[in-house]
Structure 1
Amino acid sequence: MIIVYDPNNPATNVPRSSEGGVSSQEAQPGQAFEQRSGAVHPPANAHLEEPSPTDASQATEPFTHPHAYAQSSAQRSTIPLADQPGTSSGQQFVQSEPGTTSFPPTPSSARRKISWLGALLAALIALTLFLFGWQFGAHNSNGSNLLPGIPSTTNGTDSARATVIAKVRPTVVQVNVTGSSGNSVGSGVIIDKRGYIITNNHVVEGGQNMEVVLSTGATLPAQLIGQAPDDDLAIVRIDPTKSHLEVAALGDSSNLQVGQEVLAIGNPLGITQTVTAGIVSALGRNVATGNGTILPSTIQTDAAINPGNSGGALVDMQGNLVGIPTLTAIDPQFKTPANGVGFAIPSNRVNFIAPQLIQYGKVTRTGRAALEIQAADVDPTFARQNNLPVSQGALVVEVTPGGSADKAGLKQNDVIVQINDQPVTGILSLGDILIAKNPGDTVSVKIWRGSQQKTVNEVLGELPARS
């Protein structure tokens, strides 16, 4: 939080947040995304005053404070004066003139003496306790001025963050790509000691020459190993014998929780090894990339993702790689990147795709369910022109011969309106439903065929990979 203060402008004397807020806005169909990577304490100068002793009529009840302790006269201990020569035990007399004897001292005079001695004794006790307490605190504070057992939240968080950054930074690299359309810069993360680096497919797509800049500043030539366009992932490789490589620890993205703190590390705008902080704003976001593909179950975060961050690291506070920053939302009104609305590919998806790219140079199994049809949107205009019984749904344009839909009995021109209990309003909603399924799952498909409604059961196939 930054406190903005202008003494000449009272309107500015308000706190303003230095970070974008947490956004939970769902990506709408058709929305484009740009490929980019409780006590109240008085003021310090406040003081408490006791009623003036010179005017007892003005005395009032003392102001109580959470950190103040007042002792009433009834609580003060009384210390008897020692017997003096010529006095009886337990009695005190003052001899004033020869042959006369005076009464004992008045109560007010005795109280003054007792009060003075009591105050002196209390001061000595307080000083002793203070010195002892200071010694105890000095031996148990470990450099902190807090009481033992009470950690410093701010210092502890800062220290943990710094530790994570020191651990992860050496695993994050800059990826420089030269292509027919010019030069571009992205980020990558070392995930294998053999020199394999994960990055985004859109970072390396169309590249003719590539090089990787390590956190040490060393620049090494890189080779493209494999691409997964449907997941916007790619693998490049450098020679591991040319430099010492640190490898990122791959975390389990299924354990993430909304509100959890995360850090994004990359090379935004070519500014190397930049760290931004944020939280997990939402989970399971299915977002369209703008080129016809949908990235499933992405992590939404308000950690800044700028051009050049793509392919970098999104890490938790244990230093585990939990995502690959990939997209940022575009403000439809101003056509500019929306602050605090970024998306990262989950590490569990990376863990599924990357080994295939390393071993085969391509994706052999997408792990994504498919109806094995080609479909198109049904809207009110299309429905009216074609005399369809419904005004929304997914029209079956083509059925893959021998595929799961063909085996289930789906036909061309059928209109799919529901999968299990979930309504289908178009191809985007159909895609969202299928993303949550696995190949081999059985689903009930409700369709309209002409003027008749039917339900068929289909065992889902697997979405083929694009090369």
Structure 2
Amino acid sequence: MKDREHGRPVKMSYSNINDDSSLYQPTQPYQPASGGQPAPQPQPQQQQQTAPGGGTKMPDRTPHRSGLRTGAIIALVVALLLVFGVGLFAGWQFKSSTMAAPAPEATLQPGASPQVTVPPVSGNNNIEAVRVAVIAKVRPAVVQVNVATARGGGIGSGVIIDKRGYIVTNNHVVEGAQRMQVVLYDGAKLDAQLVGTDAADDLAVIKINPPAKMVVATLGDSSKLQVGQDVLAVGNPLGITQTVTNGIISALGRRVDESGGTVIPNAIQTDAPINPGNSGGALVDLKGNLIGIPTLAAVDPEFNTPANGVGFAIPVNRVSFIVPQIIQNGAVTHSGRAGLGVSVAAVDPTVAAQDNLAVDFGALIVNVTNGQSAAQAGLRPGDVIVQIDNQQVTDTTVLADILASKNPGDKVAVKIYRGNQQMTVNVTLGELQVKS
């Protein structure tokens, strides 16, 4: 049993298909915007061609004679607040990562915008014209991310969010990258360097040497989204570049558990089709604003096939909070999430009998971190959390769901069992600590 304050362990399954596309030329070390030394990059074993058609592995496909094949589709368990199912990364997952020295500036800098005016929606009279204008505005800021790893390669998507050449994508798209190449909207291919990653949120930032008048995405406000709102997804599903799909926001505030402790606590659910290769792309509203980063789609656990119209995206407000930290520090220094400062294990009848607990449900405190919220409030290892405020805690997943809805500094009433004694302890939540 693995104890985590947020989420629970999940399973992964892989489907690999060989490919005959090439690796890419090694990138140059990332140069910080001012000061700092570039981090060393992995040395290539041999020179490779940048154009497809060589002799390595690429788990994706474009419909032309280069022969790219779809592969490395990653099925994951998606644990939701109300629904439990199997999830599928909309991109590719590998091992390890390389991190270069970060630039010191932390404020995102807007860049050029396309000369496109998006008209306001006027019922059904102009919805098609609005979609066309939004696509014309957004697509130049969406890129294809080609990744070469020790295991082969992969294709994902990314969004240009800073005129200095910073691009946001998913961590699982670039994980294990030895070389990266970005394909811009106009077809230009540029080497890219990894600035930093945030595995806990499945986010990463890469950087290119920006061309003149590079289009930068306009960031929206995901806190203002509404269920039923029309959205568009832009990316490179299955390596088919600059593909646009449309749908609505199906739900908000979904909790999605990926592998390795990655938790998206307030994910946007959409029925806009999201397929492998869409990872790291753009989910936009009908004003042309980026509102989320498509990350994974659900899989029907009965048939182990993709569930049509059940996709999830990381809210742009989370992106806006995390990305400047990565640009400044090369890593996340503040999680922004509420935490108790404990490690917990799920309680069931078997655990209750083994440990002689008074209840057969809840979250058993296994460890308390000195100086953090739980310790300051007097919680101890062996206590069983059964309720927070008015919400019953049946297991660790429910505990994580409740904490995901809170903010650091919130005061909560934690009902526990200590032996056979029931008590309520008032706790001021701290910030969930970032794992180094």
TM-score category (smaller protein): 0.7 to 0.9
Structure 2: distance between partners of 1:423 and 1:377: 13
Structure 2: distance between partners of 1:152 and 1:243: 35
Q: Note the alpha carbon deviations across 1:23-72, whole angstroms, 9 max, x for none.
A: xx9555763322214xxxxxxxxxxxxxxxxxxxxxxxxxxxxxxxxxxx
SS in 2 for 1:265: strand
The 3 A distance-change label for structure 1 pair 381 and 28 is farther
TM-score, normalised relative to structure 2: 0.73
Which position in structure 2 is the counterpart of 1:35? 89
Structure 2: distance between partners of 1:202 and 1:424: 31
**1:459 pairs with one of 416, 428, 436:** 428
Which position in structure 2 is the counterpart of 1:129? none
Structure number with the higher helix fraction is 1
**1:313 pairs with one of 275, 282, 297:** 282
The 3 A distance-change label for structure 1 pair 153 and 440 is closer
**2:268 pairs with one of 299, 313, 336:** 299
Paired positions, count: 329
Choose 170-179 or 378-387, whichever is displaced more: 378-387
**1:265 pairs with one of 234, 254, 262:** 234
The 3 A distance-change label for structure 1 pair 386 and 193 is same
Identity, % of aligned pairs? 62
Which position in structure 2 is the counterpart of 1:184? 154
Conserved? CA contact 2:236–2:243, under 8 Å: yes
Which position in structure 2 is the counterpart of 1:256? 225
The 3 A distance-change label for structure 1 pair 29 and 276 is closer
SS in 2 for 1:187: strand
Conserved? CA contact 1:32–1:289, under 8 Å: no
Structure 1: distance between partners of 2:381 and 2:158: 44
Conserved? CA contact 2:202–2:262, under 8 Å: no
Conserved? CA contact 2:248–2:272, under 8 Å: yes
Shift of 1:186: 0.3
Shift of 1:454: 1.0
The 3 A distance-change label for structure 1 pair 425 and 433 is same
**Structure 2 matches for 1:8-157, cutoff 5 A?**
31-37=85-91, 156-157=126-127
Does residue 174 of the first structure (1) align with residue 228 of the second (2)?
no
**Structure 2 matches for 1:417-432, cutoff 5 A?**
417-432=386-401
Conserved? CA contact 1:36–1:307, under 8 Å: yes
Q: Which amino acid aligns with 1:210?
A: M
**Structure 2 matches for 1:233-244, cutoff 5 A?**
233-240=203-210, 242-244=211-213
Q: Note the alpha carbon deviations across 1:248-286, whole angstroms, 9 max, x for none.
A: 000001111110100000000000000000000000001
Which position in structure 1 is the counterpart of 2:300? 331
Which position in structure 2 is the counterpart of 1:278? 247
Q: Note the alpha carbon deviations across 1:362-390, whole angstroms, 9 max, x for none.
A: 10111001000000000112112222111
Shift of 1:154: 5.0
Structure 2: distance between partners of 1:155 and 1:407: 60
Conserved? CA contact 2:80–2:257, under 8 Å: no
SS in 1 for 2:228: coil
The 3 A distance-change label for structure 1 pair 398 and 26 is closer
Structure 2: distance between partners of 1:278 and 1:210: 31
Does residue 357 of the first structure (1) align with residue 326 of the second (2)?
yes
Structure 1: distance between partners of 2:256 and 2:302: 19
Conserved? CA contact 2:413–2:427, under 8 Å: yes
Structure 1: distance between partners of 2:124 and 2:181: 39
TM-score, normalised relative to structure 1: 0.68
Structure 1: distance between partners of 2:344 and 2:278: 35
Conserved? CA contact 2:146–2:154, under 8 Å: yes
Conserved? CA contact 1:263–1:275, under 8 Å: yes
Choose 218-227 or 27-36, whichever is displaced more: 27-36
Structure 1: distance between partners of 2:251 and 2:122: 29
The 3 A distance-change label for structure 1 pair 384 and 29 is farther
- Could you tell me which runs of 5 or more consecutive residues in structure 1 were left unpaired when the two chains were aligned: 1-24, 38-150
The 3 A distance-change label for structure 1 pair 410 and 439 is same
